[in-house]
Structure 1
Amino acid sequence: VLLLDEPLSALDKKLREQMQVELRRLQQAVGITFVLVTHDQYEALAMSDRIAVMFGGRIAQVASPKEIYQRPVNRQVADFLGGMNFVKAEIVEENGASLLLDTLGFGRVRTDKPKAFMRNGGAATLGIRPERLRVLWDNASAKFEVAGKVVERHYFGEITHLIVEIPGLEKPLSVTETNDFGADDIPVGAPIRLAYDPEALVAMAD
């Protein structure tokens, strides 16, 4: 086992990304286990077969990069690994491995119940990643959509982050869109419609 304790932390972004690929190739070539410690969540997602997320010396979740990103076990893990929108909900029904929830912004949603789910009265929290919200252009429609207003816009080259106020939600939603279709030209204050997949709304275990 080779322990790598933040080996790329002093490198600039481009060299860091190149070395991530090189280290991955090296690990596959020599065929031994690498244990890499990093505070960079994207580095962990890019390089790992399995990720262990730790807080205060305790492991919160161990899973594949895809599972830990798409199905974080709790709010702390979800918030640490990439951006996440959190939505308050009320439990309507708890049935085996699923939950039926009411939200003010997304309406009624059925979602998988996390394994470590701990019910706290009737309240629950849902999470949805910014890239799972898609801008609906012109007359396009979707089976599931919400409408709001753009209150902030941040340009990052290939992508734009939009901050969107949705009636009924306590906090605005963060939306990530590629600039292929002109997300970077949406003015602050503009009305906007967002499509989403109900399966992208993940219930938090705590």
Structure 2
Amino acid sequence: MEHLRLHRAPHRPVPLLPVIGEMALMPGRAHEICGPARRSLALEVAARTEGPVIWIRPEWQAEQLNPEGIGVAGLPGRLIFVQAKRAEDLLWCLEESLRSGAVALAVAELPGPPPLTPVRRLHLAAEAGAEARGRAPLGLILTPGAGGAGGVESRWSLTPTHTADRLGWRLERLRARTAPPARWQLDHLPTAAAALM
């Protein structure tokens, strides 16, 4: 019987992208953000990256990011907006953005959670983008409600908990491959709070 030898270079772990509080995301993977303040949390992620950010949204969607909030988040000139005419083009655009490796972050606003197979394709595209450019791109899918995309690296939710006296946010890690579910109360969002829809 022939013995197989595996020759591998030492594996270097990719450093996580710290976002806010305990939230940190692994580059080279697709993550899901859901909840009523999903766009604000995605802008927090974008503010932690360098270079251009591709933001893909349905053409038929009425809500848009507040341009003044984008300015507060320090993102003017960095956001590249793509409007997809068809629902199936949203994930295709995200996949190709990740595969190119041209940006550190690509975001897609989806009408609902995608099935498992397209999410797996996003992971593979991000890995290909890392090989092509030497840096691992990060993919974000934004879904309404409680989300539920299968196969994502992690799922996060951000909900406003404002009172008459103060602003507040509840950040939840609903799912992660390497950590249990958890929740945190935040007093503020560092950069993107003014970018609410």
TM-score by length of 2: 0.23
Structure showing greater relative contact order (alpha-carbon pairs closer than 8 Å, 6 or more residues apart): 2
TM-score by length of 1: 0.22
Higher strand proportion, which one?
1
From the CA coordinates, give the structure whose radius of gyration is larger: 1
